[in-house]
Structure 1
Amino acid sequence: MKLKKSPLIAGLAFAVLSNTALASQATDSQEDFSDAYQNYLTAVAANENVQQAAKQAFTLGKHVYGMGANNTANLAINYAKAMTGSSEETNKQRYALYELAYTILAKNHGDTSLQTIDALLGKANNTESAHKATTYLEQIISIASTQNTPKFVADMQFEAAYLLSHKFASEKYHKAKNYLEKADKYYQTNLPEDSVERIKSDFLVASYAQGNKKYNQAIERLTRVVNAFDNNLNYDHNAELTAHSILIGLYEKQGKSEKATKHCLAIAKMVPWKENQEQTPLYRVDPKYPHNKVQFRRDGSVEMEFEVNTAGFVKNINVLKSQGGIAFEKVAKEAVKQWRYAPKFKNGKPTNALTKVRLDFRIQ
């Protein structure tokens, strides 16, 4: 005798099959995400295709973990950090990812939790509103202040100072300066002179001093950077190279060319010259546009050859060719003779070298 399946049994059989299929799909999704996340880690290690890998991991991960999970928030932050470019649209996309991460983490841990700091900093970096950026940064510093870790507070104050001074300087100059002074005071009192924090702080303090034409204060801070590498760190670093370069300009602005020479020579030793390498000025003065040429809207150009001596000074300028008249030649030579270079080195010693430059004069 053949038994008929009841509708209930048939329904149960269908439900079992459906649940099995869903479980299989879930397993496949988890495996796909695991592969994508491993690809992301590999891309980060190789520093190749990081943005694409981070996007794939985030896209798959939010379906595996759900939109309210900490993992989803962390994947969003990873993707935001991996995004390249600085267009308005890219900044909006980054901001949206950080906003998503913050919403999740604030709900799961509270809006004053340490877990929200990365997302808040990301929002501050990618908003176009100075007011919003300041609000986020104040929230970050407030959270740091609850941790009873003074260095953490100083680090967050420096982050705030750096961001505001680079992105919203005209609107938040005094706020940024206030944050910097607090962070710098802690660093100078508690950290060694060769610490990364002190070197970064010296650069930013020097930048503020230079902007206010307090050249001696800027020189003092940048000299600290140079000395930190010379006395405590047995390697050359881009920060030291940058400090030497800025010091050249500061001394030249004060009319102290001989003091600038030390830094021209230091750069020359740090950056070995290759055969036929074109020399580029470390300090330059732009030529003044001849008044009569401006009046009649005349363009011109001047190509010159000159000698860079063993101290990096420009000597023996010769005009190779020019267009527009002798007035352009005169102002071009007056400007170039004030330029400073790193001299070329040969067999470990500075040597004279010929170089060329072309200056174009164009009225826009």
Structure 2
Amino acid sequence: MKKTLICLSIVAACTSHMAFAESSPSADFSKAYQQYNQAIDANNQADVITYAQQAYELGKVKFGADSIDSANLAINWANAIVAQSKQNNRGRVVQDEQVINAQQLFESALTTYRKALPDNDIAFVDPLIGLAETTPDNAYAKKILFEAIDIAEDDGNELTVAEVKTFAFYRLTGTEFYTRKVRDFAFDAYDIYKDKLPANAIKRVDATYLYGALNEAMGQHSKAIDALVEVIKQYKALPYSHPHELRAHALLVDIYQQKGQKDKATKHCIAIGEMTPWNDQQEQTPLFRTAPDYPMSYASRGKSGWVKLEFTVDEQGFVQSPKVLDSDGGSQFEKESIEALSQWRYAPKFVDGKPAKGTATVQIDFTLG
């Protein structure tokens, strides 16, 4: 009966007595659980939360608060809360009263599991992942994620290992616990997906993107290029622009510019221009930039400032004709800004399906420290 909302290929084998053909079924619970499943099928997130909560509260009465079945229902409700938080916050889980409630539900389920199941039961992965996602305590998240990885590896399902390691990578990135070992989780997942899944499987493509992005950051340009080109190839089959496809193009622009291969970078600048509409009302985002030199005479005097410039982005994404609109701090800031900006690359503007020149502005700030 357990139906989780997180994207793990894990089915908890612990729904022991939740058959609806019992001799004395609870009509209210059966109805709430049926409505919960219907809401999932209809992708109605508001109803999923409503009926997951009802099923949990009625299930505690029906099965007992400390039963495995009630623990499973608690996880269903907690996962629904997490999904709603991500939906409302661009894929992020934001700490609020509801997410704190979800954390408590995961804790409760985990406590029940620890009393009723063997220590290495694969069912533990669901509440462990849920807790890691909802707790603000990074040290605790690391501890339980490493436990989840050990359990998944003991179970022997490599795809589950890949999913748990991928989650652990993203959860711990940006924290004080991001280490080479955590980074290598992403590489481990990539190797598994490459071995186990077809080239166009979304999990494999996402893992390939991450592999490419990490290699780009590490300066391993050859590996990064191969991976990012593969990502673009697979996402081209989609009827829409996937964020990873866009980012893969952007990373390739950066790599080719660093290698001095401007023609290859141009190809990806144009590709991004085709995929993303130009907005004359906002500052365009450079795909490749070099920082301006800080004038030594200004730095020695602790002088700061800024320069606002206008320029043309040509059909190939090169900067042309930069000119100063306004500035503060001195002419050397203006000179260094123009020299740096002339090396930047942008996605060109597209008009009627063809690249065209577009005018853009940017402000470059000079600050010390």
The normalised TM-score by structure 2 is 0.74
In the alignment, is residue 340 of structure 1 matched against residue 340 of structure 2? no
**Take 1:212 and 1:274, find their aligned partners in 2: how far apart are those partners?**
33
Residues 162, 204 of structure 1: 8 Å contact kept: no
Cα distance in structure 1, aligned partners of 2:59 and 2:256 = 55
RCO greater where, 1 or 2, for CA within 8 Å and sep 6 or more? 2
- Do the aligned partners of residues 257 and 87 (structure 1) sit closer, same or farther apart at CA in structure 2, a change above 3 Å counting? farther
Q: RMSD of the TM alignment (CA)? A: 3.8
Q: Secondary structure at the match of 1:272?
A: coil
Structure 1 residue 69, shift from structure 2 partner = 3.1
1:310 aligns with 2:310: no
Q: In structure 1, how many angstroms separate the alpha carbons of the residues matched to 2:285 and 2:205?
A: 26
Which residue number corresponds to residue 267 of structure 2?
A: 262
Q: Measure, in 2, the Cα distance between the counterparts of 1:250 and 1:163.
A: 27
> Which residue does 1:252 correspond to in 2?
257
Structure 1 segment 83-98 matched on structure 2, within 5 A? 83=82, 84=85, 85-86=93-94, 95-98=103-106
State which of 152, 156, 162 in structure 1 corresponds to 2:160.
152
Aligned to 1:194, which of 182, 186, 200? 200
- Pairwise CA distance, 1:254: 2.5
Q: Please give the residue correspondences for 1:156-235 in structure 2 after superposition, counting only pairs within 5 Å.
A: 156-164=164-172, 166-168=173-175, 171=177, 173-230=179-236, 232-233=237-238, 235=240
Tell me the distance in 2 between the aligned counterparts of 1:252 and 1:263. 11
Q: In structure 1, what is the Cα distance between the partners aligned to 2:241 and 2:257?
A: 24
Which position in structure 1 is the counterpart of 2:66?
A: 68
In 2 relative to 1, CA 56–209 (structure 1 residues): closer, same or farther, beyond 3 Å? same
Greater shift, 123-132 or 248-257, is seen at 123-132
The answer on 1:272 being equivalent to 2:277 is yes
Amino acid at match of 1:220: D
Q: What displacement does 1:250 show?
A: 2.0
CA-CA distance at 1:280 after TM superposition: 2.5
Indicate how the Cα distance of structure 1 residues 142 and 272 shifts in structure 2: closer, same or farther if over 3 A, else same: same
Per-residue CA distance 1:111-166 (angstroms, 9 max, x = gap): 322322111112334556766545533433443345554333333343344444x1
Change (3 A) 1:153 1:357: closer
Shift of 1:98: 2.1
Q: Provide the rounded CA distance (Å) in 2 between the counterparts of 1:58 and 1:68.
A: 12
Quick one: distance in 2 between partners of 1:181 and 1:251? 23
Q: What is aligned with 2:145?
A: 137
CA contact (8 A) 2:36 2:48 kept: no
CA distance in 1: counterparts of 2:114 and 2:148, whole angstroms: 13
Specify which of 334, 350, 357 is matched with residue 362 of structure 2. 357
Structure 2: which amino acid aligns with 1:150?
E
Are 2:314 and 2:348, in contact at CA under 8 Å, matched by a contact in 1?
A: yes
The residue type equivalent to 1:284 in the other structure is R
Identity of aligned residues (%): 34
SS at match of 1:143: helix
- Gaps of at least 5 residues in structure 2 are 1-25, 86-92
Closer/same/farther in 2, CA of residues 167 and 106 from structure 1, 3 Å limit: farther
Q: Which residue pairs with 2:328 in the alignment?
A: 323
Structure with a larger share of its residues in helix: 1
1:285: Cα distance to partner? 2.7
Task: Show CA shifts across 1:243-297 (max 9, x none).
Answer: 1112112222223222111111111111233565653322233333333333333
CA distance in 2, matches of 1:362, 1:52: 51
Tell me the SS of whatever aligns to 2:303.
coil
Letter in 2 for 1:339: W
Evaluate the alpha carbon distance shift between residue 102 and residue 281 of structure 1 in structure 2; reply closer, same or farther with a 3 A threshold. Answer: same
For the pair 1:122 / 2:127, whether they are aligned, the reply is: no
Q: Based on CA coordinates, which of the two structures has the bigger radius of gyration?
A: 1
Aligned partner of 1:23 in structure 2 is: none
- The alignment of Structure 1 onto Structure 2 pairs a total of residues equal to 334
Letter in 2 for 1:137: L
Does structure 2 conserve the Cα–Cα contact (< 8 Å) formed by 1:161 and 1:175?
no
- Report the Cα distance in structure 2 between the residues aligned to 1:275 and 1:109, rounded to whole angstroms: 60
Structure 1 unaligned runs (5+)? 1-26
| In 2: Cα distance, 1:358 partner to 1:300 partner | 11
**Paired residue for 2:298, among 293, 296, 321?**
293
Q: Is the 8 A contact 2:292 2:340 kept in 1?
A: yes
Alignment check: 8 A CA contact 1:162 1:176 kept: no
After superposition, what is the alpha-carbon deviation per residue over 1:211-234, rounded to whole angstroms, capped at 9, x for unaligned? Answer: 32222222221111112223x545
Q: CA separation of 1:178/1:275 partners in 2, compared to 1, >3 Å: closer, same or farther?
A: closer
Matched, 1:100 2:108: yes
- Distance in 2 between residues matched to 1:363 and 1:50, nearest whole Å: 52
Asked whether the equivalents of residues 106 and 112 of structure 1 are also in contact (C-alpha less than 8 Å), the reply is no
